[in-house]
Structure formats: C-alpha cells, structure tokens
Amino acid sequence: MTDVPPSFEFLPGDADSPVILHVPHSAREIPADVRPGIVLDDAGLERELDHITDSHTAAVAEAAAGAAGVAPWRFVNRLSRLVVDPERFPDEREEMLAVGMGAVYTRTTHKDKLRPDGFDPGPLVERYFRPYAEAMTEAVSERLAATGRAVIIDVHSYPSAPLPYELHGDGPRPEVCLGTDSFHTPPALLDAAREAFAACGETGLDSPFAGTYVPLEFYGKRAEVSALMVEIRRDTYMSEPGGPAGPGLPRLASALAALIDAVSR
C-alpha cells in the first residue's frame, strides 16, 4: 500500500470532441516522501499552498464539462505544483528560473526558501514531470487522430493583488486574462473566448500572465493544435488566498462551457 495518489488523471469526453481542458495547478497534494525536501514548517507550507494553488479550478472545469453540449476531455494534475510544475520548461529555457520557479520550485511566492540550497530536481523531474508530459502528448495525439485537431484550454487562476514572485505583475489584472501564443492561438479561438467570458467582467490579453501550454512535440510545428490559457482572477469566484469557492464559480463554469461549445463545432 502507498499514500501516493495518481500524479494526474485523464478524464474522457465525447469521442468527437477536440477539446482538452488542462488543469495543472488546482491540487494541494504533496506525497509523503516529497514533503521532507521542503524546508517550510507545516503552517508555512499551508500558507504557501494557499497562495500558489489555483484553488477550485478543477471544479470549474468539471462543472463546465458537465454543462457543455459536447463534453470535453479533461487532463487534471492531482498533485500540487510544489511537487513539479508541469507547465515549466525543465531546463534553462524557463524564465521563471530567475525567481526559483522552474519545473521544481526552490523559492516560494514571497521569494523565501522552499527547498535547500543545492537541491537536485532530477529525481522529481523523472518521476513526475516526464510521465506527465508524455501522457499529455499522447492525449493531444489521440484528439488529433480522432478529430483532425486539438484545442487545449488551460484553466488557471491568479490573485487579485500581485505576489512578489511575479515577473510581470505591474500590468493590468482583469477579471479574466487570456494567455495566447502567436502560432497556436488563432483569432477565432480568441474571439470565441472574449464572447464567452464577456458576462464575467473585463477580459484582457497576456497580463499578468502570458502564453499557452502545448506539448513540445507539437509546439511551433502543428497549427492544428490550438491553445488558449484562461486565467481567472480569484476574487471573482473564491475567498482569497485559499478559501472556499463562492457564487461566481457557476457563472465562470457556464462561460467556459460556452467557449467549449463554440470551439467544438
């Protein structure tokens, strides 16, 4: 027996759906054998999880999937991003290395020490990051084979006030930030997102967070893999920093369902 939960879960949708809702940062779970590598005490770790976790985004995605006319597929990280962050580059290409937040974080949201100096990220990358990346690559390949395209919608959230680790925290912080990629985010996808989230407040582009997640096998190579990051400002649907969800969650889930249906046609 082990207390280590599955690292991720791939939940099936309709056979003819091209959409994958990707939820990488919603969980707080840290395996027992990973915990000793984190230097924070238990109270400090809970505070950090409150700040770093995109709380309730898995619930937003689940509700949206249930409401959509064509059910999307869902790829959900079941471990905290403090174990590994599956959306980072695992090497020097990652700009967040500048604040100790590459694929394996060594610093907190407030730039305090998270892991000891000289910590070797290699074992965590091999155990968690690479299998996750391989499974996501396979998931996209399956949608391509089944439908001729894949639409990755990344479901995130962000705090209403900037945290010290943010590299681009001085820009606008709209209710919904849409992260884009010049190759993988076609205008029709962006237009559909703006229309779907119009009822949720202001939508903005690439501020405070920019870009999308596309598995490296397809990145910059396969235009039939499109992608959009949806960053929801946390005060619109939950009590910050890590409190319960509120009445805004169903509205956001309904908007996400509308986006799913718009791009599934």
Q: Is residue 59 part of a domain?
A: yes
Within a domain: residue 256? yes
pLDDT value of position 94: 79
Which helix (H) or strand (E) segment holds residue 10: the answer is strand 8-11
Q: What is the mean pLDDT of residues 145-160?
A: 98
CA distances from 66 to 154, 194, 249, 261 (A): 17, 21, 14, 12
Q: Is residue 244 part of a domain?
A: yes
Q: What is the span of the domain harbouring residue 68? A: 8-264
Q: Compute the mean pLDDT over every residue in the chain, rounded to the nearest whole number.
A: 95
Tens-digit pLDDT profile for residues 94-120: 778 888 899 999 999 999 999 999 999
Task: Give this prediction's pTM.
Answer: 0.95
Query: Is 3 domain-assigned?
Result: no
In angstroms, what CA-CA distances link 103 with 9, 89, 137, 141, 192?
19, 6, 17, 23, 31
Q: Indicate which CATH number applies to the domain containing 250.
A: 3.40.630.40
> Mean per-residue pLDDT for 181-186?
98
In a domain, 159, yes or no: yes
Kindly state whether residue 64 falls inside one of the protein's structural domains.
yes
Count of structural domains, the chain: 1
Show the CA angle centred on residue 215, arms to residues 154 and 34, nearest 5°: 80
How far apart (Å, rounded) are the C-alpha atoms in residues 124 and 103? 9
Is the pLDDT at 218 greater than 90? The verdict is: yes
Q: What is the reported pLDDT for 146?
A: 98
User: Would you say residue 224 lies in a domain?
Assistant: yes
Residue 2 is predicted with a pLDDT of 43
> 5 pLDDT band (50/70/90 cuts)?
low
pLDDT on residue 168: 84
pLDDT tens digits, 25-42: 999 999 999 999 999 999
Is the per-residue pLDDT at 93 higher than 90? no
**pLDDT tops 80 at residue 1:** no
pLDDT in tens, 195-211: 999 999 999 999 999 99
Tens-digit pLDDT profile for residues 38-68: 999 999 999 999 999 999 999 999 999 999 9
Is 240's pLDDT higher than 60?
Answer: yes
Q: Is 1 domain-assigned?
A: no
Residue 89 has pLDDT above 90, yes or no: no
Report yes or no: 160 and 234 within 8 Å, Cβ to Cβ.
yes
3-class SS letters over 178-228: EECCCCCCCHHHHHHHHHHCHHHCCEEECCCCCCCCCCCCCCCCCCCEEEE
Average pLDDT over residues 158-164: 96
